[in-house]
Structure 1
Amino acid sequence: MEYRPLGSTGYTVSTISFGAWAIGGSWGSVDDDESIKALHTAIDNGVNFIDTADVYGDGRSEKLIAQVLKERSEDIIVATKAGRRLDEQTPQGYNRDNITKFIERSLKNLDTEALDIVQLHCPPTEVYYMPEVFGILDDLKQQGKIKHYGVSVEKAEEAIKAIAYPGVETVQIIFNMFRLRPSELFFELAKKRNVGILARVPLASGMLTGKMNKNTQFEQDDHRNYNRNGEAFDVGETFSGVDYDTGLHAVSEIEKLKPENATMAQFALRWILMFDAVTCAIPGAKNPKQAIDNAAAADLPPLPESTMTRIQEIYDEMIREEVHHRW
């Protein structure tokens, strides 16, 4: 496992971490025993950073993490998110009363006295223009309820605006072979300000694993079935906003570049780690095998420049027009 400093937090985290959305829900059937085994396996393989949210399974994900950490002696950093529990996503909902309630609920779910990192969970764009919201987070930090805070964003522009607030130490943003815009607009600025970057949706909702085809079926409660057109939340969260057939075509080209000793998922994760501004990628895992496979990506050798250039060309030819201007 490789480790990198997480911005100005003082944490040093594994470059492959554990994304805990899938063990909460919205990804089809999930088994708590398997989820617990997956978490243990990830830690056994050097993962020391777990990313979750209060809405993943309505607290289910946070509680499972707390259960596992009670059984471990390692120093594991947990980042959670707040804001999506609002009945309606309005800027006014991000007020002191609501944010405090969300934080206190996560403290209880994670069974801890202080949250390692709290991230605003993809709030409306207007929230980034409300200094009082970040003042509330500063106050919660001063009260000892949170140690550090950051944001999870949809758009590169939101990330740029967020890090104008000095208290924002981490930014979680969709970055993968289908989403190159953050590397063009945001990464250098984040490096200058010593902000940690957490690459979310690193496998484009599983599309970049190479395991999907035109006949792949998804369960009713899987967002890859019910959010194809943004019916439930931002369409960019599902397959990174790329049309399903277009994504399959692009993956068929990317597969030609895969190193012999790697799976497609490991290749996609290693590609992300080629960008030194990125602290870690946060793939999900629902079982021990997935956790092992993900962790092994950190041990792959650097990719050749020719591979990086060809992936950029595939993006420019097949993906850019569809997504680049949107996020």
Structure 2
Amino acid sequence: MMNNNFNRREVLKLSGLAGLAMALSPVLSAFNFKDTMLQRKIPLSNQLLPVVGLGTWQTFDVGNSNADRKRLTQVLLEMKKLGGKVIDSSPMYGSSERVVGDLTSTNNFNKDFFYATKVWTSGKEAGINQMNSSFKLMKRKQMDLMQIHNLVDWRVHVKTLKDWKEQGKIKYWGITHYTDASHYRLENVIKAEKPDFVQFNYSIRSRHAEKSLFETIRKNNTAVLINRPYESGSLFRHVKGKALPEWVKEYDINSWGQFFLKFIVSNELVTCVIPGTSKPHHAIDNMMAGYGKMPDEKTREKMYNFIKNI
């Protein structure tokens, strides 16, 4: 009998992922999931987005390496097969934008994803030049989401992004940061400028956003992307050698990765979480967190307390 309490290395340890459908079968059978991944509406438009996507910081910064690009192509294929859409990048992430653009365009599924990137520089013209470069690198005529990375020179870039949205060059615009200390700044910008999206850090042990940021998001109908869901891997180190509690099986949780992600996406104000990975079996494991029964509020607190007391 197959043990369903997988860790990140054990989930689908396949030989090059050959015969994927067959290998997936026993793992997927452990799930009570519907035909499609859970989706949430972007409040502004009611467009639906699947709740698990993909971040590209470090993981897609592989330059021209054929071996790495082949593996990342498989990551994108598995993501697509299991219903993920959002790919988030930035000029800050080295060659990631170019790699995303190359892989999605050469593999004929460039229309299957929701493309998000960022502006990460100061000054109006520098911002325009950088964003135009991102369009070329990611091979996009229209960017689904352009964000102001870590609020760098946000007052200047907001004007450009609002103009570009009116022109149809971008579909949505947003703001981002990755630290608890930035949350109040994000709230102030949300209240003042009404961005379509906000991206920030949130995880089972890092819940600062619950103090007031989520309430500001609710009041302003802002879509949410979540970064740092695994706290840069420290969550996996925290549970190393520990077994999943038996009661999580009721919520179709079969790995620690799914445990951490389901805590996040069970928050109904979260539109999509964007864990980064360069490994196909991790991508599969991540996507599975969007399927099956979601924890309710009482269970979320039970999950938090379990992790806190390990």
Same topology, TM > 0.5: yes
User: Is the Cα contact below 8 Å between 2:201 and 2:229 reproduced in 1?
Assistant: yes
CA distance in 2, matches of 1:75, 1:277: 24
Deviations 1:231-266 (A, max 9, x none): xxxxxxxxxxxxxxxxx37x7889547724510011
Of 96, 104, 115, the match for 2:132: 104
Whether 2:121 is the aligned partner of 1:121: answer no
Unaligned runs of 5+ in 2: 1-36
Show the counterpart of 2:215: 188
User: Is the Cα contact below 8 Å between 1:253 and 1:314 reproduced in 2?
Assistant: no
User: Is the Cα contact below 8 Å between 2:143 and 2:171 reproduced in 1?
Assistant: yes
CA distance in 2, matches of 1:264, 1:119: 30
Of 40, 45, 56, the match for 2:77: 40
Change (3 A) 1:306 1:258: same
Change (3 A) 1:191 1:62: same
- Give the C-alpha shift of residue 149 in structure 1: 0.6
Show the counterpart of 1:201: 228
Deviations 1:103-135 (A, max 9, x none): 1010110112221111111135xx45x3x4312
Whether 2:165 is the aligned partner of 1:141: answer yes
Whether 2:90 is the aligned partner of 1:53: answer yes
Deviations 1:50-98 (A, max 9, x none): 11112212xx222222233331175421110111xx4xxxxxx2x2111
Partner amino acid for 2:47? Y
Show the counterpart of 1:150: 174
CA distance in 1, matches of 2:202, 2:247: 19
Partner amino acid for 1:289? H
Show the counterpart of 2:118: 81
Partner amino acid for 1:198? L
CA distance in 2, matches of 1:306, 1:294: 23
Partner amino acid for 1:22? Q
Unaligned runs of 5+ in 1: 87-92, 213-247, 319-327
- Aligned residue for 2:248, secondary structure, equals coil
CA distance in 2, matches of 1:303, 1:117: 29
Show the counterpart of 1:12: 48
Of 189, 195, 205, the match for 1:168: 195
- Give the C-alpha shift of residue 294 in structure 1: 0.5
Whether 2:307 is the aligned partner of 1:272: answer no
Change (3 A) 1:257 1:303: farther
User: Is the Cα contact below 8 Å between 1:174 and 1:200 reproduced in 2?
Assistant: yes
Partner amino acid for 1:309? E
Q: So what's the TM-score if we normalise by structure 1? A: 0.72
Deviations 1:258-306 (A, max 9, x none): 7245100111000101211111111112121111110111113222555
User: Is the Cα contact below 8 Å between 1:265 and 1:294 reproduced in 2?
Assistant: yes
Partner amino acid for 1:117? L
Change (3 A) 1:258 1:309: same
CA distance in 1, matches of 2:46, 2:124: 27
Change (3 A) 1:314 1:262: closer
- Aligned residue for 2:275, secondary structure, equals coil
Change (3 A) 1:311 1:253: farther
Aligned residues: 263
- Aligned residue for 1:259, secondary structure, equals helix
1:233-312 equivalences under 5 Å are: 248=238, 255-256=244-245, 259-260=248-249, 261-303=253-295, 305-312=297-304
% same residue? 24
- Aligned residue for 1:111, secondary structure, equals coil
Change (3 A) 1:158 1:254: farther
Show the counterpart of 2:57: 21
CA distance in 2, matches of 1:123, 1:166: 13
